[in-house]
Amino acid sequence: MMSIDLYEILYFMLMGLIGGFLHVIINADGFDSLTTFSSLKRLILGPCSGFIYSLLYSEYNFPNSLMAIASGWLGTDFIIKIMLKFSPEEETPP
């Protein structure tokens, strides 16, 4: 039976949050862009990406921390693209 280490999962979620936060900060045009719904989505999806990474990594070491941050940064784009791909498109009137 496989045991789940809650602290390890929370650690990778924190690293994903840091990655999402860095993405928001670096791509912000000003303070107003930090308070948008898009920024909030990235801050929520960052820990989700870190959680997914925590399920997929092989060993706990320093490069995995960096990869969890990267998954929080890039994983948000991936998740948003999938959501857009499968969302129903609105019909435009002729």
Q: What pLDDT shows up at residue 93?
A: 57
Q: What pLDDT shows up at residue 50?
A: 83
3-class DSSP assignment, residue 3: coil
3-class DSSP assignment, residue 73: helix
In a domain, 79, yes or no: yes
Beta strands in the chain (DSSP E): none
In a domain, 92, yes or no: no
* pLDDT tens digit at each of 94 positions of the chain: 456 688 888 988 998 899 888 888 888 888 888 888 888 888 888 888 888 888 777 665 667 777 777 777 777 777 777 778 787 776 555 5
| Domain interval for residue 19 | 6-85
In a domain, 13, yes or no: yes
- The total number of structural domains that make up the chain: 1
In a domain, 47, yes or no: yes
